[in-house]
Structure 1
Amino acid sequence: MPKRRCPRPQLVLLAFLLTACGGTGSATTGPATLDWYNFPDDSGALQQAADACSRASGGRYTIRYDKLPRTADGQRQQLVRRLAAHDAGVDIMGLDVTWAPEFAEAGWIREWTGAQKDEVTADTLPAALETATWKDRLYAAPYNSNTQLLWYRDDLTPTPPHTWTELLAQADALAKQGKPHYVEVQGAQYEGLTVWFNTLVSSAGGSVLTPDASAPALGPPAVTAAGVIRDLARSPAADPSLANQMEDQDRLALESGTAAFEVNYPFVYPAMKADRPDLFPHFRWAPYPAVTPDRPAAVTIGGIDLAVGAYGHHPDLAHEATLCLRNHDNQLVNALKGGLPPSLRSLYTAPELTGSYPFAADVLTALDNASLRPRTPAYQNVSIAIAHALSPPSAVDPERTVADLSGQIKDALGSKGLIP
């Protein structure tokens, strides 16, 4: 009788690895697993959307929600490292509204075309679509939008200010009365400071970059914007921690009773309701302060755009799943649970939203008049330059700071490659 041959060890190991990892037959032996990388959500809205869309697929796919780090820089860093390594496990990803140009230029995300593109663009706010577009091509589907309002206590100031000048005057008056008076704003050296500056520049009628994003624009509007930052930082309105303040610290300052105003995102509303029910009846909102009385503020739009990874094994299913994740029902849940404004216009008049989102009309107005952060693949470089030049806010010298910043932005735009 012939001797029985045992399989080669290498073949056994290969078979084991293919079985353990799903191998090439995983798409046919069960539902495809789509990995969705997004910001960490404590409200449960994202997991609820992933579960709902998995059920709605009829067994064709399951969405696994993978949480990215909490900071935007950490989120981007993890995605960049995975995509630079051609990681096939990144099927869907939540992009900050500034990342589409960079990721598209690198070839890391897939373009939306045909009927799926039409479905994304239908009912979506124009400014949100702009954040997901690069060189006239759509590379992502806006999941949620975001904007800032002025939040204040009406027991301290019954009539909200319309301009930054009025805001500082009201804060000064409250300080002289020995009452809570701080104006909370994002003054730390990070993306939030860039957003503050960009909003002020746009509100003054200018822009950070030229239309073709090849050079800094800045000019008098930027000097005016830097003057607003300097004036607040050197006034009684400034929180002593201004140079370290981010969104959540601003929220906590108002909740603690030391501040009278904050410019912040709508997430502060459900937080105040839950954390300080005694102060909540006096918690009000108004449009973001204008730089000049004759021009409404052009608040920098925020949000998350969902993109399909270039290296995943199931791009068609990933596009389909993305459409589900950002549909009407899931955006409504995300707004109600997570406090994140939708990117679909029709939701702003939906009774389910307006009942819990009494400021929906003000958010929509702000989004319809929104400004965008500088549109360039080198945005990360530009943002770092801006935040560095304006930190700490109390040291800003408008003319000199803007002149220095212009040179730093030129250097940022001329840099090669991607910041890791």
Structure 2
Amino acid sequence: MLRPLPLMLTVLLATAGCAAVGDKGGGEPATGGTGPITFATGRDTTAYLQPLLDRWNQAHPAEKVTLLELPEAADEQRAQMVANLQAQSSRYDVLGLDVVWTAEFAENGWIIPLERGLFPLDRFLPPVVETAVYKNKLWAVPYTSNAGLLYYRTDLVKKPPRTWAELRDQARKITEKHDVKGYAGQFLAYEGLTVNFSEALQSAGGQILNRDGTGVTLDPAKAETALDFLLQGLREGWIPKESLSYKEEETRLAFQEGRLAFARNWPHAYGPARVELGDKIAVTRLPGLDGPGSSTLGGANLAVSAFSRHQQTAQEFIRYFTSLENERRVLTEGSFPPVWTELYDDPDLIKRFPYLPVLKESILAAKARPVSANYNQLSLVIASSVAKALGTPTPESAADAAVSMKSELDEIIRTQ
């Protein structure tokens, strides 16, 4: 059972709904905080969402939710949402946001702040909650999480590497002895490359921005160390050159088809790899400079549009959708990492999803990407700088890219 919303919040939400502007069905005036809503999110590739929506609709016939599936690619999802919100349209009520969009959407006034006490945030994984906070306010509710893992072949690797040096040593030996390449991540010039570089930088003890996103804290020496880990692999051949065109799917296929001994990927790649390779695969935390490294947080959060006419219903729907029961279904039926801490310790779930303990460790040690309303610009600079260095993997490339990257990031932050 969902507890009733506090009376004061009900009044405030109803008032906010009446004040909303936009166009959903002919531009009629806003009518209040409750009623039918729409849920705009990326395309459901596993068909698990509709049954969850049906349960809500059966219990709330006057406040039914309609699923609006946006493109599968995150950039296209964001583009459609931004166009809708810039027009102050009320077509979208609940928004499924990538965790890196919180600051941008909040700063532009496209989503509303939420009352922390309405949601069981103390039972969620702490780093995940931080992705929904901006300027000390809660702007969304965590829905799914994610962290990068190191996949490895148990028939080729006796003990998984904990450091970059161990990964390099094992990958080189395997490449020399077997018809298998060593290691690959996501090295095409897109968001995945920003993630891979961020993980390497964090694992070398560095960071890109300060906590509130107002200053660049990138240390060129640490950035050079992070880049050189990848450049060395390309120069020595244990990172294959073809991986410069890899996104998540290409990395997944290369690993599960037996072409890689090690691969960096998200948890979604575990199931297909297990089907193809059986007990020959396992996962561990990403390696780092001097020990286990730090992953970049991924996942999705749910927010309420500032132009929704039914904000009370939207918040109550989010409470339902992120409940413990539904978060279990997010994992068992959608294969997405949940946000409730206790699900990672459930023996029955661990039997079905053996990677959960490692994933929990990875999420707890992970860090969010730079918190900035201009995140997209920052990401483009990072991916472009890293791609240029990887394209010409000389010893000087890392230093040049690190200095250039810092300069361009400084310019973005100064002008924001």
| TM-score above 0.5 | yes
If the length of structure 2 is used for normalisation, what is the TM-score?
Answer: 0.88
When the two structures are aligned, how many residues end up with a matched partner?
A: 389
Calculate the TM-score normalised by the size of structure 1. 0.87
Aligned pair partner of 2:56 in 53, 58, 77 = 53
**d(CA) in 2 for partners of 1:84 and 1:24?**
19
Partner of residue 367, structure 2: 371
Contact 1:171–1:236 (Cα < 8 Å) also in 2? no
Structure-1 separation of matches of 2:116 and 2:157: 52
Give the direction of change, closer, same or farther, for the CA distance of 1:25–1:391 in structure 2 (3 Å limit): closer
Residue 318 of structure 1 corresponds to 314
Residue 341 (1) aligns with residue 337 (2) = yes
Aligned equivalents of 1:53, 1:322: Cα separation in 2: 11
Distance change >3 Å, CA 350–CA 404, structure 1 → 2: same
Partner residue in 1 for 2:10: none
Write out per-residue CA displacement over residues 66-90 of structure 1, whole angstroms, 9 at most, x where no aligned residue: 1111211111111111100111011
Cα gap change, 1:104/1:22 in structure 2, threshold over 3 Å: closer, same or farther? closer
Partner of 1:288: 286
> 1:403: how far off?
0.4
Give the greater-gyration-radius structure (CA).
Answer: 1
Whichever residue aligns with residue 176 of structure 1, its letter is E
Instruction: Find the residue that maps to 1:151 and give its secondary structure.
Output: strand
Give the CA deviation at 1:171.
Answer: 1.5
Which amino acid in the other structure matches residue 75 of structure 1? Q
The CA deviation at 1:25 is 9.6
- Distance in 2 of aligned mates of 1:412 and 1:302: 23
> What secondary structure sits across from 1:376 in the alignment?
coil
What residue is the counterpart of 1:142 in the other structure? Answer: 142
Q: Counterpart of 1:289 in structure 2: which amino acid?
A: P
Query: Deviations 1:232-283 (Å, cap 9, x if unpaired)?
Result: 2223222332221111110011122211111111111112234x2xx12211
Name 1:164's counterpart in structure 2. Answer: 164
1:70-219 equivalences under 5 Å are 70-113=72-115, 115-116=117-118, 119-219=119-219
How far does residue 413 in structure 1 lie from its aligned partner after superposition?
Answer: 2.1
Verify the 8 A CA contact 1:111 1:140 in the aligned structure 2: yes
Distance in 2 (alpha carbons) for counterparts of 1:19 and 1:80: 16
User: Percent same amino acid among aligned pairs?
Assistant: 29
Consecutive unaligned residues of structure 1, counting only runs of 5 or more, are: 1-17
> Quick check: 2:24–2:90 contact (8 Å CA) kept in 1?
no
Q: Verify the 8 A CA contact 2:128 2:145 in the aligned structure 1.
A: yes
Contact 2:152–2:281 under 8 Å retained in 1: yes
In 2, distance between residues paired with 1:53 and 1:27? 20
The verdict on how the C-alpha distance between 1:19 and 1:65 changes in structure 2, with shifts beyond 3 A counting, is closer
CA distance in 2, matches of 1:388, 1:25: 45
Query: RMSD of aligned C-alpha atoms?
Result: 2.2
Gaps of at least 5 residues in structure 2 are 1-22
Tell me by how many angstroms 1:231 deviates.
1.4
Q: Contact between 1:33 and 1:61, CA under 8 Å: does it hold in 2?
A: yes
d(CA) in 1 for partners of 2:25 and 2:398?
A: 60
Q: 1:415 to 1:190 in 2, by over 3 A?
A: farther
Contact 1:189–1:388 (CA under 8 A) maintained in structure 2: yes
Matching residue of 1:67:
69
Query: For residues 324 and 162 of structure 2, what CA distance do their matches in structure 1 show?
Result: 33
Match of 2:81, SS? helix
Distance in 2 (CA, whole Å) between partners of 1:258 and 1:127 is 34
Query: Structure 2: how far apart are the matches of 1:300 and 1:259?
Result: 22
